[in-house]
Amino acid sequence: MLRFWSGPEYPGSIKLNSRTSLLNPIDTGRPNLLHPSLIVVFGWLNAEPQYLKKYIEPMQKLFPTSSIVVIRSDNSLYFKPESSLETTLAPVVQMLRGELTGPTPTRGILLHTFSNGGGLQVVKLRRVLSRISSASPTENPSPRIPTGLVLDSTPASDPLLSSINTWAPDHPVLHALAVPPIVALYAVFIATNALCGHPPIFRELRETLNTPDLLPTVTPRTDAAATPRLYIYSDGDRVTPAHEVEAHIREARARGFDVDAERFGATPHVAHMRADPERYWRAVVRLWTRVVSASPCSPALASL
């Protein structure tokens, strides 16, 4: 049973825990079969609700019959024990599994991931779902659920450089002063992560995002093309450089993923939508159209 917390972070939202909020469809009439049932937003590191709201509102206009769950992340993502992160993600797991077992057919799931902080939340979510899948194996695989993935400003491949470009000020003197403590904190994290038995975080991030079974029990185990994806990145992003994203794109295509990409020009990290909202959301809608078209079990196609 979902536990509600007080204090909505977005207009009309329900706070499920300190990091997770649910927005029910703004159109409560008959569900649009061309809209996903559920949109899961993985916010970038330390993204405040007022900034995430600038993405939520256009999503609601584009997909008014979709539920939206928003997951925020902060610096504790790197240091919290797995059990604490599982608690944060528990409502999301419940909703995803509800798409499999709910009384009405699912219209699909759209994952919208921002930056490497959002991508790492996807990694954590996959770990939780993997454990559930292993604990409750089923002989009959679940029906294929239409699923799409938006990767905005992720994945990077150099965690230290990404951390420096995220946290160090642009001023040359202040930048030089900030680098040593950032490197020291990074070293502490790397040691802690290794002692916990986890692989290097960005290596795991990049590998997880190129895994066909991105959401165990939801996505197919081996069919990479079943989850179309959209990369949104730019030449001006210093946190997640374009060449690192494009290396991941090449690998994804080589593995058989259905890939689309929007490469912006000088836009900074997680600022592509602000530069050209029409282009940004047009690409997202185009992705979901591909998802619906690619899914043999899509209720939308069955109704046409």
10-residue stretch averages of pLDDT, the chain, 304 residues long: 55 89 92 94 94 96 97 79 80 91 88 96 93 63 82 92 77 78 78 76 95 90 92 97 98 97 97 98 97 71 42
Distance CA 15, CA 17 (A): 6
> In b/e form, how buried is each residue of 209-237, taking b as 16+ CB within 10 angstroms?
bbbbbbbbbbbbeeebebbbbbbbbbebb
Domains of the chain: 13-156+206-303 (3.40.50.1820)
Distance CA 237, CA 241 (A): 5
pLDDT given for residue 7 in this prediction = 52
pLDDT given for residue 220 in this prediction = 86
pLDDT given for residue 297 in this prediction = 58
Bridge partners of 110?
Answer: 39, 148
pTM: 0.89
The torsion defined by the Cα of 288, 294, 296 and 297, in degrees rounded to 10, comes to -20
Distance CA 47, CA 112 (A): 14
| Contact predicate 69/21, CB 8 Å | yes
Distance CA 65, CA 25 (A): 5
Distance CA 158, CA 235 (A): 16
Instruction: Give backbone dihedrals phi and psi of 274, rounded to 5 degrees, phi first.
Output: -65, -35
DSSP class of 75? G
* Strand (E) or helix (H) holding 160: helix 159-167
| Contact predicate 82/120, CB 8 Å | no
